[in-house]
Structure 1
Amino acid sequence: MSTSSETETRPKTRARTSSPRGARLALRDATLGRPDSPALTGVDVDVSPGEVLTVVGPSGCGKSTLLRTLAGLLPPLAGAAEQDGHPIDGPGADRALVFQEDALLPWRTLRANVELPLAIRGLARTERRQQATSWLERVGLAAQIRQLPHRVSGGQRQRAQLARALAGRPRAVLMDEPFGALDAQTRAGMQDVLVEVLHGTGATVVFVTHDVDEALFLGDRVALLGSGRLTAVRDVPSPRDRTAHDDPARVALRRDVLSSLGT
């Protein structure tokens, strides 16, 4: 795939396993946005099964529009949005959305919130309660399963939202600045939780963020948006490795990304 400014390299082999296999997501020469105000034009990107693609760009550049198009909430104005080679024509149960606002139902306990996608799948009450409990334990909320959302912290609500998103066994997880409202320490902790709970799911992830360091920690590749276009897609050296923060290749990429953002 080529962008307007440089040629993309294909992602390297992932360390994460693929059970269930992640979805292949793609935009083909796509114009994205609303009919009266397109946000992005000529977008070509192919997200491999099991890949984590992070997306960065200045405010208002179309990051959320790109994510909502892949989610099936916004049809492309031109070109195509695809999953596994088929057009995305609306929301699907195998593509989960995670937002900055946790969107938990305030009258349901954390466990009852996580049970929702399992109930939609038709699981019996006992089974969905067991699975919801297991997911909450995986994100470190074993002691809070019976709490209502307003009784726990923002970071804990985001953990519960992540558990709810993954409980439905989606093949793709689309995340729109999910940690943007958290303080730096909680944010770093949530990044580590995300890496840990994704391990072994095989899910494809598209993660929108305005934080360059977050993008370079989480992503196998990082997509750069600006001036109404996808300007580059770059491989990230040693993704999800905290010790690689000062690696010369990572430092050089961070400098290039910040330059592309005009910062």
Structure 2
Amino acid sequence: MSTSSETRTAPPTENAGAAPAPPTVRGTRLTLAGAELGRPSSPVVSGVDLDVAPGEILTVVGSSGCGKSTLLRTLAGLLPPLSGEVTQDGRPLTGPSADRALVFQEDALLPWRTLRANVELPLAIQGLPRSQRRAQAETWLDHVGLADRMQQLPHRVSGGQRQRAQLARALAARPRAVLMDEPFGALDAQTRAGMQDLLVDVLHGTGATVVFVTHDVDEALFLGDRVALLGSGRLTAVRDVPHPRDRSAHDDPARVALRREVLTSLGT
């Protein structure tokens, strides 16, 4: 199976906040070998062989119920494999770790904490002094364009702004891998496109490995270095994406051909 380069580049995007660049984080390698995934009474995916390179963005698509979220939760350490191996940098992955941040479609912000206090939470768990975690939280909120909203409670801001805050919270702890479960699925098309660009922008330079689950084929082909296709209880294919993170390549013949293949795999 082919793998992407150990590093990636992203097209520059505008960042009105002009926040200081976050610290570089070395990505991590996530590997599944002959893995059967699911719960003991209900296996969902079998025979998974997948190697996610450090610093890669791997997108995962498949029909509802095919095991996308199961795969993500296995990589997060929330579900042990039923058989086979799941490793991080060659060592068995045995449970959750601060090295791997999980981002959900629902923003999961604590409603009684301000946006800044939500972003500070993983830093507090790490034991950082209050002044340091406040400064880091403010830097990240500035980086995602929320410098003027950091004192707001979650219910006082829009859905897109809550997702920005969730992204800041996930990255503030400098995880080596970010696992994203359809994080933009509930957003309207314009906000969704803006969040995709923001994700590319804030990840640029961090080196973090990303596994991004989505039901949106165009989103998968825009964001991913590679796209993994799940269906019929197995991993059916992993394909390199031509010109990742380049919106002008939407009509590129190779991208169009891959889009057709992905849609065919989904039965659409």
TM range (shorter): over 0.9
Tell whether 2:123 aligns with 1:130. Answer: no
Q: Residue in 2 aligned with 1:59?
A: 64
Q: Is the 8 A contact 1:16 1:50 kept in 2?
A: no
Given residue 15 of structure 1, which amino acid in structure 2 is its aligned partner? R
* Match for residue 202 of structure 2 among 197, 206, 209: 197
Shift of 1:14: 3.3
Given residue 248 of structure 2, which amino acid in structure 1 is its aligned partner? T
Q: Return the alpha-carbon distance in structure 2 between the equivalents of residues 20 and 245 of structure 1.
A: 30
Q: Return the alpha-carbon distance in structure 2 between the equivalents of residues 46 and 159 of structure 1.
A: 29
Shift of 1:236: 0.2
Q: Residue in 2 aligned with 1:182?
A: 187
Q: Is the 8 A contact 1:216 1:222 kept in 2?
A: yes
Secondary structure of 2:161 counterpart: helix
Q: Residue in 2 aligned with 1:255?
A: 260
Secondary structure of 1:257 counterpart: helix
TM-score (norm 2): 0.94
* Match for residue 237 of structure 1 among 220, 236, 242: 242
User: Which digits, 9 at most, give the CA deviation of each residue in 1:31-75, with x for residues without a partner?
Assistant: 000111100000000000000000000000000000000000000
Question: Tell me, which stretches of 5 or more residues in structure 1 are unaligned?
Answer: 1-7
Q: Residue in 1 aligned with 2:88?
A: 83
Given residue 194 of structure 1, which amino acid in structure 2 is its aligned partner? L
* Match for residue 22 of structure 1 among 21, 27, 35: 27
TM-score (norm 1): 0.95
The root-mean-square deviation of aligned C-alpha atoms, in Å, is 1.2
Q: Residue in 2 aligned with 1:141?
A: 146
Tell whether 2:37 aligns with 1:44. Answer: no
Shift of 1:122: 1.3
The sequence identity of aligned pairs, in percent, is: 79
Tell whether 2:157 aligns with 1:152. Answer: yes
Question: Tell me, which stretches of 5 or more residues in structure 2 are unaligned?
Answer: 11-22
Given residue 118 of structure 2, which amino acid in structure 1 is its aligned partner? N
Q: Return the alpha-carbon distance in structure 2 between the equivalents of residues 106 and 16 of structure 1.
A: 35
Secondary structure of 1:142 counterpart: coil
Tell whether 2:202 aligns with 1:212. Answer: no
Q: Residue in 2 aligned with 1:3?
A: none
